[in-house]
Amino acid sequence: MTQRGQRQPLTTNKKQSRSSMASRSSMASNTTPVVKEREDDTQRVLVIGAGISGLTLGICLQRAGIRVHLVDKVKRMKDAGSGMSVIGHSLPILRTLGIDLPSTIGLPQTNVSLRRYDGRGLFQVPLASDSDLVREFGSVQCNVHRGELQQALMDVFVREGGRLTTGKRFTGLAHADTGHPVAVFEDGTRMQASLIVGADGARSRVRSCLFGDGCLRYSGASCWRGFLDKCPPAVLQLACARAHCMYKTVVHPTGQNVSFTCGWTTNDRCFWVLDVQHPKDIPVDDVVPFLLEQTRGFHEEIQTIIKATRPEDIIQTDVYDCRSVPQYTHNVVLVGDAGHAVVHHFGQGACLAIEDAVALALALDSAIPPPLRQEEEGEEETRERKQQQKEHHQQHQQHQQQQQQQQQRRRQVERAVTPEAARLALASFATWPRWLRTRALVLISRWCGMVYMNNTPVLNAVLTACLAWPVNLIFIGIMKALLFISDRSLRHASRRFASSSKPARVD
C-alpha cells in the first residue's frame, strides 16, 4: 500500500553514501530549546524550512557573512520526492554554490519532446535556446533526483558552518516590543529575528499565518511519482531508455484526463509522473492496477515502466498552486513554493525557488553594511591598499586575485541584520519585473495542465495545431524570454556567493 507523501531513501554510489550518511547523522540531532537568547542573536535571518530554497538562501547568506539560522520541522532529513528538471538560470547558480550537476548528480538532457498518448511526437523542445548554457553544461536542462539535490545543498551548508535546527515545528507568528518578528514553535519556544523567511513549501504554514489558507488552490489533479533506482532489462531495452529521452504526453483519448511524463537521470535511473483528474485527499490503495487502468490504450512502454515500479516507490500527492499574495509583510518574506506554488507541468518549482533565494540574498547583501573591522584587520587592509596603489601597473590578473582575497576575508566576519536593513532589502527584492515573470510562469503552468488534462476532440486539435510550425514559434519565443532572458543578471550576480570554507557547526 502506498502512503500519501511517503519518502523513500535513494541508493547512491559509495562516495555519495559516505558523505550523505555523515551529514544525515549530524542533521538528525536536535537543538535543545533556548528560553532566553542573547540580544545579538535577534540580529539575524531566520529561515523556516530547509528545502531547496531555504538551503540555497542559507548558503548564500553564510558566504556573505550574514547571520542566518535554518529551522525545519523534521527530525531527520531524508531523500525527498522523485526526479526533477533543473532549467535555465539555476544551472550556473548551483555551480557557483559548488554543485556542478553535469559532473556529479545531474544528467544533461538532449532529447525532450511532447507526444500523443500513442507515442507519436508532436513537438521537439528546443534545448539549444541559450548558447551559453549549452556551451557550459551541454544543455539548458539537467535532470536530477530531488533528494540528491537537497542532500548536496545540505552538505555544502553544514560543511561551511551553517546553523541548522531540526525537529522544530513552526506554528505561528508574533511581534516583539522591539519591532522584531517572532517565530512561535510547537514546543512553546520562540525565536526573534530581524527577518523571518518562509521557505516551507506549497502548504506553507508561514503563508497561512500571514494570509490564511484560502490562497492555496487545488488544481483538480493528483499525481503519482515513481522512481526506478535500478531499471530491469525490460525497461532498459525501451527506445526512450537507450536515448535517455524525456517526454510528456499532452494529447489523449477523449475522457482519459491524464498526462504522463517520463525522464532519466544518472546511472540509467528512470523517474515518471502520472497526473490524473482525481478528488483531493483521496488516497489510492491498489496503486499499480489503478495506474495501469488510467493509461489503458497508451503506448506499451508507458505501461512497461509503471509495471516495473514497486508500489512502495510510488508517491501520491495532490497538486496545488497558489493565488497571488504579497511577497512580504512586516519583515516576513515568502520564497519558493511558499510564495508562489506552481504546478509541475513546466518544471519550474525548484528553479524559481533557487532564483528567489539568490535574489533575496543579493538584496540583503546590498542593504546590510559591512561589519566593523578589528584594528589589526584594518591595518592589514590599509597595507594591502597601499601595496595595490604602488603596484597598479602590474598585471590585471594579479589585481583581481588580491580583490578576491580581500572579499573572502571580509565575508568571514558576520554581519548583523537590523529590522531597518531587512525592510530596505525586501523593497529591492520584491520588484515588479520579477513578480510579473513569476506570475506568468505560474499561470502558464496552470493553463498547460488544464489543457493536457481535459481531452476533447476540439481541444486536442487546437493543441496539435499550436505545437506545429510555424505557430509553435510563438510558444518558443515566449518561453525563451521567460526562462533564459528575464532575470539573466542573476547568473552573474550570484558569483559574489562563490565558494568559501568555514568549519562545520550543527545544532
pLDDT of residue 43 exceeding 90: no
The Cα 98–Cα 247 span in angstroms is 29
The pLDDT of residue 395 is 60
Beta carbons of 322 and 216 less than 8 angstroms apart: yes
Residue 17 pLDDT greater than 60, yes or no: no
- pLDDT band for 376, please (50, 70, 90 cuts): very low
DSSP symbols for 191-242 = EE-SEEEE---TT-HHHHHHH-STTEEEEEEEEEEEEESS--HHHHTSHHHH
Q: Looking up cell 519565443, which residue turns up?
A: 477
CATH fold, domain 45-109+140-215+323-363, is FAD/NAD(P)-binding domain (3.50.50)
Q: Could you tell me the pLDDT band of residue 450, with boundaries at 50, 70 and 90?
A: confident
Instruction: Classify 98 in phi/psi space as left (phi over 0), alpha (psi -120 to 50) or beta.
Output: left
Residue 423: predicted pLDDT: 93
β-strand pairing of 112-116 with 121-124: antiparallel
Radius of gyration of the CA atoms of the chain, in A: 24
Residue type, 185: F
Cα angle value 131/135/138 (rounded, 5°) = 105
Nearest CA to 178 out of 420, 428, 363 is that of: 420
305 pLDDT exceeds 90?
Answer: yes
Residue 381 pLDDT: 55
Choose the weakest-confidence range: 17-21, 90-94, 436-440, 449-453: 17-21
Alpha carbon distance 151, 262 (integer Å): 23
Most confident segment among 78-82, 222-226, 379-383 = 222-226
Supply the pLDDT for residue 371: 65
State the cell numbers at 427: 523593497
pLDDT at 452 over 80: yes
Bridge-based pairing of strands 332-334 and 328-329 is antiparallel
Q: What is the mean pLDDT of residues 379-386?
A: 57
Percentage of the chain surpassing pLDDT 90?
67
Is a pLDDT exceeding 50 seen at residue 9? no
Is the confidence at residue 505, as pLDDT, over 50? Answer: no
Residue-level pLDDT at 412: 47
Q: Which residue type sits at 506?
A: V
Nearest to residue 50, comparing CAs of 72, 27, 22? 72
| pLDDT above 70 for 10 | no
What is the signed CA dihedral for 128, 134, 139, 144, rounded to 10 degrees? -150
Q: Where are the domains of the chain?
A: 45-109+140-215+323-363, 217-321, 432-488
What pLDDT score does 63 carry? 93
What ranges make up the beta strands (E) of 13-167? 45-48, 68-71, 83-87, 107-108, 112-116, 121-124, 141-145, 163-165
Average pLDDT of span 408-424: 73
Residue 415 DSSP class: B
Q: Which residue has the higher pLDDT, 345 or 52?
A: 52
Flag whether pLDDT at 504 surpasses 60. no
Q: How many residues does the chain have?
A: 507
Q: Which of 59, 143, 111 is nearest to 358 (CA)?
A: 59
Task: From 320, 357, 358, select the one nearest 336 (Cα to Cα).
Answer: 357
Within 13 A of 58's CA, how many CA atoms are on the CB side? 30
Cβ proximity of 173 and 209 under 8 Å: yes
DSSP for residue 167: S
pLDDT > 90? residue 128? no
- The mean of the pLDDT values for the chain is 84
> Does the structure show a pLDDT above 70 at 476?
yes
pLDDT greater than 70 at residue 404: no
Q: Is 281 helix (H, G, I), strand (E, B) or coil?
A: coil
| 217-321 CATH choice from 3.20.20.70, 3.40.470.10, 3.50.50.100, 3.30.9.30 | 3.30.9.30
The pLDDT confidence band at residue 374, using thresholds 50, 70 and 90, is very low
Q: What b-and-e string marks burial along 286-308, b requiring 16 or more CB atoms within 10 Å of the CB?
A: ebbebbeebbeebbebbbebbeb
Q: What b/e sequence results for 157-166 when a residue is b if at least 16 CB atoms lie within 10 Å of its CB, and e otherwise? A: bbbbebbbbb
